[in-house]
Amino acid sequence: MATLSTKTVSEFARDGVVLVRGVLDAEQIDAARQAISEVMAVPGPLAQVASDADDPGRFFEDFCRWSQVPAIERLARQSRVPRVAAELLGDGPVRLYHDHVLVKEGGTTQRTPWHQDQPYYNVDGRGVSAWIPVDPVPLAGCLELVAGTHRGPWLMPRTFLAGEARWFPEGSLAELPDIEADRGAYDIRHYEMAPGDAIFFDFLTVHGAPGFPFPGRRRVLSLRYLSSSARHAPRRWRTSPHFEGLQDELAEGAPMDHPLFPIVA
Ligand SMILES: O=C(O)CCC(=O)C(=O)O
């Protein structure tokens, strides 16, 4: 059953980003908060702190925890989120790709640099992320997205702190423009968000986020889905996130038909 208006679906096709309010209900928001606490209490092997040691706050991230944290699995598979992802992608069944927990503590100065997600990944073909805060997010603390950039091209992925080219070799992809230097030249979308609202954006949409210069925390659960067009693209480098041993189990160019990526809608 369709949960979105045709206007929302066509906005996503045009812009590569759309806000959907109230995707999670109050019980699901509590479950997501609890799940984020579990992840932070026992971080997984892919967890990292993406802020400098002298940052007055902290930017914590962890990836791929749904198989250990049942509440993340329930939200990723059984909430409205995968159905919205399927409607937006509009080409048949969608697979869960992975989850990503992103917490900026109050006072964090670290920006999330402008980037596209897909060049860090091990897939070709389309996918969509749902960025779901479980705390109120003021406009000035929100993820920002550049409408229309989902049409490409792929842009050079770099490490967030040192700006190193750890994925595609230097010079092999175009560099991101200096968006901060000329913000008015871009169609930048951001929103004041309530817990349980979600920004859905294409894996190629350029996005970044300010620090969080506010007293509260900014806890986010991001759920990511693959369209049926997605194909395995093993890389010569360690992708982010990394899927240990996957290249031995799934051929290059194969559909993402593997227990790590269940069909969810
Ligand atoms: O939450 C953030 O600061 C950045 C989020 C992001 O880059 C993503 O969800 O892909």
Top mutation candidate among 101, 222, 224 for ligand 1, by most atoms within 8 Å of CB: 222
Is there a domain that residue 250 lies in?
A: no
Q: Which atom of ligand 1 is closest in space to residue 100's alpha carbon?
A: 9
CATH assignment at residue 77: 2.60.120.620
Is there a domain that residue 60 lies in?
A: yes
Tell me the pairing of strands 17-20 and 188-189.
unpaired
Binding site membership of 240 for ligand 1 (Cβ less than 6 Å): no
For residue 70, the enclosing domain spans: 6-244
Is there a domain that residue 24 lies in?
A: yes
Is there a domain that residue 219 lies in?
A: yes
Is there a domain that residue 261 lies in?
A: no
Binding site membership of 261 for ligand 1 (Cβ less than 6 Å): no
Binding site membership of 110 for ligand 1 (Cβ less than 6 Å): no
Is there a domain that residue 154 lies in?
A: yes
Number of structural domains in the chain: 1
* pLDDT value at 244 more than 70: yes
Is there a domain that residue 12 lies in?
A: yes
Q: In the predicted model, what is the mean pLDDT of the chain?
A: 97
pTM to 2 decimal places: 0.97
Binding site membership of 144 for ligand 1 (Cβ less than 6 Å): no
Question: What is the spatial distance between Cα 240 and Cα 67, in angstroms, rounded to a whole number?
Answer: 18
Is there a domain that residue 255 lies in?
A: no
Query: 37-88 pLDDT, tens per residue?
Result: 999 999 999 999 999 999 999 999 999 999 999 999 999 999 999 999 999 9
Tokens found for residue 199: 């920004």
